[in-house]
Amino acid sequence: MPDKFTAIKGMNDILPPDSARWEWFESIVRQTMTRFAFRDVRTPILEHTQLFARGLGQATDVVEKEMYSFEDRADQRGQADNLSLRPEGTAGVVRAAVEHNLLYDGGKRLYYLGPMFRRERPQRGRYRQFHQVGAEALGYAGPQVDAELILLAAELWRALGLSDWRLELGCLGQPDERRAHRAALVAYFEAHADQLDEDARRRLHVNPLRILDTKNPAMQALADGAPQLLDHLGDASCAHFAAVQDALRACGIDYRINPRLVRGLDYYNLTVFEFVTGSLGAQGTICGGGRYDYLIEEIGGKPAPAVGWAMGVERVLELLRQKGVAAPGAAPDAYAIVPDAAYFPRVLACLQALRAAGAAVQLHAAGHADGGDGLGSMKSQFKKADACGARYALIFGGDELAAGQVTVKALRDGAGAQARLSLSDTAALAVHLKSP
């Protein structure tokens, strides 16, 4: 047993004041999703391990070595399920759509926001519990939806005040095109077998595409010279890719074609894309996604096309923090200072009315170390008012209360002069506390 408990490595507590930035971010996400007609979906954090193995691909890093999986307790018949914490959201959303026959009356535009789990080596921007916002458009085949999803992400960056990103775009074609490319790739790497590192040799016949993603500088030249998938695409795939690009250009979204864009999960075909920032070091991918027209069938549904993306919330929030984007609503509007414990019942009644009228007010409350009646001196109360970031102190002194008033004192520049205001019109007082 440890002497002191700590959070599990790679899993973070989200505490005030940071949690205010999270709330603000989540509210922007929900507003933006609503404007794009995407609807909230919430699936369980635990799923059958097999869902991810089948859905994401047995040979992916995520399934091979990063899932938190365990054998559940046996049921009455002695059968135990193997379960996993979800490493991503797409497989669960697709499972739910198939299970509840969501596509019976046409396509569905769904989004989610929540924790995901991957047992990766923790570092800045890479955690074992992290959060994703994801958007999935199920049941749509046309390139318009691919473009619309990219526009949705771009609109989120705009609404959040982020401009430091670039969009990388690729096309993975269809399975037969990929098979032809894969054969060409294997032949190429086999012809250069002496230059392959151990990782590449292991991947050669399991997933040769991943070799293109090598981080080994000694293999860069070899990877650069490899046959390109874009040269193996047929007419339909080329037309789909061109239509996505036309739509992006028409909407003024800059992009860079990356012929080697390799996503870490196996379910993709046709369009793939990533939003990358230069401001986060090695973990610069803030959003990734693409088309996955075969996943629904793979998971047991009637064949239906789909496209989606997910963004890493921690990474986006770190970007916001770096850029100094301030989240509104982190501090209360006012802090109530109460010189005498006898006034509390009346003060509480006033605060109740102010809160009902929309003001955020924190009441000075006794701390266990404050001594006396526990309230502390006026000076220490003012110190606490200042420390909590409130714009105003509300001073509920005996004189004020006798006159049915409260003294409103500005604690921040620009919040106006000190004034005594009537408690009979709490709505007006609340407006005063909230006014810019």
Tell me the closest approach of the beta carbon of residue 333 to ligand HAM, in angstroms: 34
Tell me the closest approach of the beta carbon of residue 347 to ligand HAM, in angstroms: 45
Beta carbon nearer to ligand HAM, 89 or 376: 89
In the DSSP assignment, the letter for residue 370 is S
Structure token digits, residue 377: 């001196």
Residues 223 and 203: their CA atoms lie apart, in Å, by: 13
Query: CA dihedral in degrees (182, 183, 187, 192; nearest 10)?
Result: 10
139: left (phi over 0), alpha (psi -120 to 50) or beta: left
Residues 369 and 436: their CA atoms lie apart, in Å, by: 36
Residues near ligand HAM, by CB under 6 A: 88-90, 118, 120, 126-127, 130, 132, 134, 136, 264-265, 285-290, 292, 308-312, 314-315
Tell me the closest approach of the beta carbon of residue 104 to ligand HAM, in angstroms: 22
Beta carbon nearer to ligand HAM, 114 or 264: 264
Residues 177 and 232: their CA atoms lie apart, in Å, by: 6
The total of other beta-carbon atoms located within 10 Å of residue 74's CB is 10
Beta carbon nearer to ligand HAM, 24 or 111: 111
Cβ(409)–Cβ(337) below 8 Å: no
Residues 56 and 86: their CA atoms lie apart, in Å, by: 11
Side chain identity at 162, as an amino acid letter? Answer: L
Count of residues making up the chain: 436
Closest by alpha carbon to 366, among 346, 352, 351, 384? 384
List the end-to-end C-alpha distance of the chain, in Å, as a whole number.
52
Beta carbon nearer to ligand HAM, 147 or 351: 147
Task: Give ∠ CA 61-66-70 in degrees, rounded to 5.
Answer: 135
Beta carbon nearer to ligand HAM, 66 or 370: 66
Beta carbon nearer to ligand HAM, 120 or 370: 120
Tell me the closest approach of the beta carbon of residue 287 to ligand HAM, in angstroms: 6
Q: What is the β-pairing status of strands 285-291 and 405-410?
A: unpaired
Tell me the closest approach of the beta carbon of residue 122 to ligand HAM, in angstroms: 8
Beta carbon nearer to ligand HAM, 40 or 231: 40
Tell me the closest approach of the beta carbon of residue 284 to ligand HAM, in angstroms: 9
Tell me the closest approach of the beta carbon of residue 165 to ligand HAM, in angstroms: 12
Tell me the closest approach of the beta carbon of residue 121 to ligand HAM, in angstroms: 9
Beta carbon nearer to ligand HAM, 130 or 396: 130
